[in-house]
């Protein structure tokens, strides 16, 4: 039986801050099409890993393979062009532009056209059609004409997701997409992300265990910069080492 190569493969990755090994010989595989959650106690090294995957931080050693290609030394700004996109890290939204224009600008950056302030992106019909489609996937199409600043916090996070989707990623890195949301909004984002299952591969950091177990096809548990377990949610729940290192802590 042929074994499919993972879309993302992390091999023996290491990153230290002084004496602290934030990533300590980490191995990870993400399969195309899956929603893969990364969980672990505070300080386990989740954000440090995502920073290295997005290219914002350079590993000390080890390799990152994306679709079989070694991208460890590829600068962060080039990774979106390869299909590796990060969402929910910094607010990259232009608050005074319309919701639609924000997504159209993201789509425009993918197609490599330069940014023309004097030729409003709103005139480019094909970009708008694409932007509207991305807004529909996050159920924000009805907000398209409003200025981005008028959106609620939860809507802005969905806008960021639409902007990431407009880049037509193969893998999207999601850093706590539900952070700062109330239960209703979180549930809505879970629904939106579920709807994207199979359309895009996702690697997701999330503290909300209900969200993780509702969404993830597979879960990897990080503790002290290492992956101590990786498997289906039910396997992770039942893993004694995980319970001790992490889920037990939650219960306590």
Binding-site ranges for ligand ATP (CB under 6 A): 17, 20, 22, 40, 42-48
- Assess contact for 63 and 13: CB atoms under 8 A: yes
Closest contact distance (angstroms) between CB of 21 and ligand ATP is: 9
Write phi, then psi, for 89 (nearest 5 degrees).
-110, -55
First to last CA, the chain: 44
Q: In the complex with ligand ATP, which residue's Cβ is closer, 192 or 222?
A: 222
Cβ closer to ligand ATP: 52 or 72?
Answer: 52
Structure tokens at 210: 């209900």
Q: How far is the CB of 157 from ligand ATP (least distance, A)?
A: 17
Reported as type and span, the H/E element at residue 163 is helix 153-165
Min dist. Cβ of residue 122 to ligand ATP (A): 38
Nearer to ligand ATP by C-beta: 89 or 109? 89
**Shortest CB 88 distance to ligand ATP, Å:** 13
Closest CA to 203 of 63, 84, 40: 84
Residue environment code for 76-115, b if the CB has 16+ CB neighbours within 10 A, otherwise e? beebbeebbbbbbbeeebeeebbbbbbbbbbbbbbeeeee
């Amino acid at each position: 039986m042929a074994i499919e190569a993972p879309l993302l493969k992390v091999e023996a990755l290491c990153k230290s801050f002084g004496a602290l090994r934030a990533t300590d010989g980490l191995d990870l595989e993400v399969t195309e099409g899956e929603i893969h959650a990364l969980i672990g106690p505070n300080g386990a090294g989740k954000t440090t890993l995502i920073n290295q995957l997005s290219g914002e931080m350079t590993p000390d050693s080890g390799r990152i393979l994306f679709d079989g290609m070694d991208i460890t030394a590829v600068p962060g700004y080039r990774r979106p062009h390869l299909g590796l996109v990060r969402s929910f890290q910094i607010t990259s939204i232009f608050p005074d532009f319309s919701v639609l224009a924000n997504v159209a600008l993201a789509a425009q950056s993918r197609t490599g056209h330069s940014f023309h302030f004097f030729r409003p992106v709103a005139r480019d019909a094909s970009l708008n059609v694409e932007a509207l489609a991305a807004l529909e996937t996050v159920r924000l199409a009805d907000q398209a004409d409003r200025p981005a600043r008028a959106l609620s916090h939860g809507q802005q996070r969905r806008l960021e997701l639409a902007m990431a989707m407009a880049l037509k990623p193969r893998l999207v890195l999601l850093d706590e997409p539900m952070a700062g949301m109330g239960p209703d909004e979180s549930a809505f984002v879970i629904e939106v992300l579920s709807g994207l299952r199979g359309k895009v591969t996702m690697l997701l950091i999330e503290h909300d265990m209900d969200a993780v177990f509702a969404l993830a096809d597979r879960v990897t548990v990080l503790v002290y910069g290492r992956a101590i377990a990786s498997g289906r949610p039910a396997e992770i729940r039942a893993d004694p080492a995980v319970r001790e290192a992490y889920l037990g802590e939650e219960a306590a």
